[in-house]
A and B are shown apart, each in its own frame.
Chain A
Amino acid sequence: MKITNPSISVVINTTDRAVQLGTVLTALQQQSYPHFEVVVVVGPTKDNTLEVLEAYAGRVRVLRCPKANLSQSRNIGLLAARGDIVAFLDDDAVPSRRWLEQLAQLFGNPDLDATGGVVFFGYPTDVLPGVQYRIGTISALLEQLDVRDSWLEDLEPPGESTHWVGRMMGANMAFRREALLEVGGFDEFYVFIAEETDLVMRLVRAGKTVHAVKEAAVYHFPASSRNRVVFTYRGRWWLQTRSGVYYALKHGPRTGDSWRAVMMRCLHLTHGHWLWAGQLHRAKHIPWRQMWKIRLEDLYAFFAGLSGALFRRPQLIPQAQIAAARKISEPILPFQQEDAMLQPALDPITGSRSVLAPSVPPLRICLLSYTYPPAKYDGVGRLTNLMARGLYEAGHSVHVITHGEKERVSFYDGAYVHQIPYQLERYGAYRRFDRTFHGLNNSHAVYERVRSLVINEGIQIVDSPLWLYEGLVTEVSRLVPVVVRLVTALRQVSAIQNEHDPDTKMMGEMEQLLIEQADHWLPNTRATLEAVQKVYGLAAPEQRYTIVPYGIVPAPDAEIRPFDVGRRDPLTVLFVGRLEKRKGIQDLFAAIPQVLRQLPDTRFVIVGADNSMFDGFAGQTGMTYPTYFAHRYGEFASHVQFTGEVDDAQLQAFYQTCDVFVAPSLYESFGLVYLEAMNFAKPVIGCRAGGVPEVVEEGVTGVLVDPEAPEALAGALASLLRSPERLRALGLAGREQVLSRFSYHQMASNFADVYRRVIGEFKSTSPGDLLGDLLEG
């Protein structure tokens, strides 16, 4: 018979990790399952752990453990637990929002006695593996086989032992309380390491069902403790050997492994550390003294484990205490408060949260972007990062799915970033359309992670960029609503660049499908919307789209230098963009001499990479753009500086020091460069093309001219350069617009409003109960 709503005791064992403990307690306030209590067992701590816990008086049961012994601490928590289920969570781990909801669902099955979910290393670093644990197996000789997709993939795991069981990880494991009491809890010989494995082995031998699952995620942010110092090689590694030798000797012979295999394994455990210490020393990570310290401690640990196993009985909970624990009939102490659903998102690394207190429940949003910082990223990656940052600062939970060579989940700049690889194992019919084939497989991998995020985090909406149609498979699944950020369509670009191969056409079809299937469109300007509609022949009723302009990070006031009307020194005109026809560089070249004839002291700075090889200019003239300018307008060359591509810091400096910004693009769907100039209170000159008039307010923040009209451009430039008052007024108005309309906070707020509306209107057609699937694999 299925058990509904079991009560859960979350046991946290902690010593000297006050900051991390505060973070995990904050995270527990956001759990979607309310029927749980929190038991914190504090070891011989030397920091302000007890002060942190004072803030939770009346909500958390605090117990003390006299020794820094994790098994003993766990047993104290177990004996005090009042819930039907006891879930152990590390003090430096943060559970996913539906962690307890999933555990409750799993333990609804009366056959299940123990379970645990996946553990991700949450730091954005390549030093650690991405997935710390997922459905592992372990032998009676402590041989591990982790990260397996299926129990049937490898029926005979490699190793010396003949006896293998499902492995659990202490950072994320849960048990039926009665089952734990029945086997006597944890063996206190284990100070740390292998205590959970020993327990599982005993549970299995007692006929209990242990079944780990792929989901029920916990993000682990390992913190330093007296046992180890993170990101260094300092630690009490000998405890691993002591535990390992003890474990192998206790379980190996009992489960049919030969004494020879057991002893060899014990020697290997010791020898492994011996070799490791040598490797560290050779790589100059540790001095020779530390190497020999590790080795000698290891020898001691070998004999300690050996004598413990041969001459001591397991240090389990005494029967009298177990009997007393069974008599406890008090209800659990509720942990969550009424405002649990209003809690803003949490930064699991620093423990900080948004300063804005939401008045309505914050959203749980998934953003897609093929590239994303801190790895190499493109324009979409940069925008997605700003969206994530703005949404997080408004209190929303954000998960970003991006491509990566290996699976990894880390917290970066306000969002959990899920790097996912994809296998080319589906959609074989499209194999000959290389980009389409890759795109579909990537979109499917994205869907699978979205599904996982719905299970773990209760994600409510997915936001997909237009290019690469990453959200397509999720749209078709109807699992959650999907909105699409519209930008210049691939079909527009391929027409400009004269690309008509079948693969590009197919990509265009995918893009059209993505738009058609989307629950809502989010163009950055009306011009973008109209262009996409035209190129794909789509109708757009008003309720189908919302125009959300992009935003940028406002520069600090101290860095802003509005034009000084009293200045008399030569003025500087700045151009930023790729040197190519679409950006209007040829028109600017034609305008420069006309300006210099009227204002000979003017200086032009042209920032951006030369793209003459790709827009056909080099083919026609045999020259790059800078060479062409020098050749064609040699007498003015000394007034024009070509910088090439520059880094962000240099670009900011150019914006800061220029007097006028010009970008006569023939088409821009939005025109982020104008905003960047306006951010530094600079007047801008652009063309009446694409979305530019929606960004630059003519006569207020800048001047607009017709595209491909160099004379008009020169006239506008000269006129503006002659008018110091206008330079100042337009610049200050631009800065004001950035702060009021185009900040990333405003952008995020606009996106959030749309998301909330779309979520309210969405009706899922996804079959079945996702959480119900958990037990099935």
Chain B
Amino acid sequence: MTLKRFLTADTVLQDIEFELVQGAISRDDIGRSIRLLKKHQSRLREAYFNPAERMDRETLVARQFQLNDMLFTLLQEMAADARATRLELRKFGEMTLSGLPAERAEAEQRMLADMWLTSELDPYLEGWPPQDLEEAMLGEKLLPQLVLQPSRIPLIGTLLNRLRIALHKVAIFYVTRLAEQQVRINASYGSWIERLVRHSHEQQEKIRILSEQVATLQAHLETLHTETGVS
């Protein structure tokens, strides 16, 4: 199924307003939550470092867990917000993809009739490729990176770092060759799986058409049988 999304001046205005609203949301709740967390943490510090009411370690750990819980809650809220935003975006995208209201369509299509975006919304391929396969097909995800914890030993640390970087680079050179080969193999796998999925979809489509034809023929046979009386 191919849908067309007309980009018009109104669409642009909607998009800009949408982005402006997104900016406003992110500034509100999260900042306030952070401030509350800081306040709580400050009280905890005050209680712990105040010699008059020196807090015992168990109480401190319990309070710290409480603080962690608050942090997790905040992160959870942020994740929920992010999910909601993604859903909003998706809904927004689908709304614009599913065409425009009839009363506006004519005027807007006249404005930018030759400007459209196409979107293949094949239900069988929705969500394709799976995330892990997509990552495996991308070269940069597999190529090894130089991961080194720099030595912090004064004076000879720099020398040690240089030596270790040189050794790591040699290892990376060989691993990179293997990784590149693997990426090519993965890409080939991905491509073949995609073909198979398409093929399977086409087969199913053919089966559906054939089933309909069989049903039609059966109905036709039954009609003939009734008319001729031949069984």
Name A426's contact: one of B11, B19, B45 (CB within 8 Å): B19
Given the complex of chains A and B, what is the CA–CA distance between A775 and B31 in angstroms? 7
Q: Is the CB of B31 within 8 A of A777?
A: yes
Given the complex of chains A and B, what is the CA–CA distance between A513 and B43 in angstroms? 52
Interface of A is mostly: helix
Instruction: Please give the distance in Å from B79's CB to the nearest CB on chain A.
Output: 11
Q: Is B20 an interface residue (CB 8 A)?
A: yes
| Contact A151/B9 with A206-B46, A271-B154 known, Cβ cut-off 8 Å | no
Q: Is B62 an interface residue (CB 8 A)?
A: no
Q: Is the CB of B38 within 8 A of A502?
A: no
Chain B binder among A95-103, A338-346, A383-391, A504-512 = A504-512
Q: Which of B13, B16, B27 has the most CB of A within 10 A?
A: B16
Instruction: Please give the distance in Å from A643's CB to the nearest CB on chain B.
Output: 44
Given the complex of chains A and B, what is the CA–CA distance between A88 and B221 in angstroms? 97
Interface membership of chain B positions 1-35, coded 1 if the CB is closer than 8 angstroms to chain A and 0 otherwise: 00001011101110111011001101110111011
Q: Which residue of chain B lies nearest to A206 when distances are taken between CB atoms in the complex?
A: B46
Name A205's contact: one of B30, B49, B117 (CB within 8 Å): B49
Given the complex of chains A and B, what is the CA–CA distance between A275 and B154 in angstroms? 10
Q: Is the CB of B13 within 8 A of A476?
A: yes
Q: Is B115 an interface residue (CB 8 A)?
A: yes
Q: Is the CB of B114 within 8 A of A502?
A: yes
| Contact A151/B93 with A207-B42, A209-B39, A512-B9 known, Cβ cut-off 8 Å | no
Instruction: Please give the distance in Å from A214's CB to the nearest CB on chain B.
Output: 10
Interface of B is mostly: helix
What residues of chain B lie closer than 8 Å to A275, measured between beta carbons?
158
Chain B binder among A316-324, A427-435, A650-658 = A427-435
Given the complex of chains A and B, what is the CA–CA distance between A572 and B146 in angstroms? 67
Given the complex of chains A and B, what is the CA–CA distance between A205 and B15 in angstroms? 47
What residues of chain B lie closer than 8 Å to A210, measured between beta carbons?
38
Q: Is the CB of A777 within 8 A of B117?
A: no
Q: Is the CB of A427 within 8 A of B19?
A: yes
Given the complex of chains A and B, what is the CA–CA distance between A152 and B76 in angstroms? 12
Q: Is the CB of B38 within 8 A of A448?
A: no
Q: Is A282 an interface residue (CB 8 A)?
A: no
What residues of chain A lie closer than 8 Å to B159, measured between beta carbons?
none
Q: Is the CB of A429 within 8 A of B7?
A: yes
Given the complex of chains A and B, what is the CA–CA distance between A111 and B111 in angstroms? 55
Q: Is A776 an interface residue (CB 8 A)?
A: yes
Given the complex of chains A and B, what is the CA–CA distance between A512 and B30 in angstroms? 37
Instruction: Please give the distance in Å from A611's CB to the nearest CB on chain B.
Output: 30
Q: Is A473 an interface residue (CB 8 A)?
A: yes
Given the complex of chains A and B, what is the CA–CA distance between A553 and B9 in angstroms? 39
Name A209's contact: one of B23, B38, B115, B152 (CB within 8 Å): B38
Q: Is B121 an interface residue (CB 8 A)?
A: no
What residues of chain B lie closer than 8 Å to A509, measured between beta carbons?
8-9, 12, 111-112
Interface membership of chain A positions 472-484, coded 1 if the CB is closer than 8 angstroms to chain B and 0 otherwise: 1100110000000
Q: Is A646 an interface residue (CB 8 A)?
A: no
Q: Which residue of chain B lies nearest to A476 when distances are taken between CB atoms in the complex?
A: B16
Instruction: Please give the distance in Å from A245's CB to the nearest CB on chain B.
Output: 14
Q: Which residue of chain B lies nearest to A430 when distances are taken between CB atoms in the complex?
A: B7
Given the complex of chains A and B, what is the CA–CA distance between A505 and B38 in angstroms? 51
What residues of chain B lie closer than 8 Å to A147, measured between beta carbons?
none
Q: Is the CB of A502 within 8 A of B115?
A: yes
Q: Is A581 an interface residue (CB 8 A)?
A: no
Interface of chain A residues 754 through 777 with chain B (CB within 8 A): 767-768, 773, 775-777
Interface membership of chain B positions 154-193, coded 1 if the CB is closer than 8 angstroms to chain A and 0 otherwise: 1100100000000000000000000000000000000000
What residues of chain A lie closer than 8 Å to B50, measured between beta carbons?
207
Q: Which residues of A contact B (CB under 8 A)?
A: 111, 150-152, 155, 204-211, 264, 267-268, 271, 275, 426-427, 429-430, 432-433, 440, 444, 447-448, 472-473, 476-477, 502, 505-506, 509-510, 512-513, 767-768, 773, 775-777
Q: Kindly list the 6 A-B residue pairs having the minimum CB-CB distance in the complex, ordered from nearest.
A: A207-B46, A777-B31, A776-B31, A271-B154, A476-B16, A205-B49
> Can you report 11 A-B residue pairs in the complex whose CB atoms are below 8 A from each other?
A152-B74, A152-B75, A155-B71, A205-B49, A209-B39, A271-B154, A429-B93, A473-B16, A505-B115, A509-B12, A773-B27
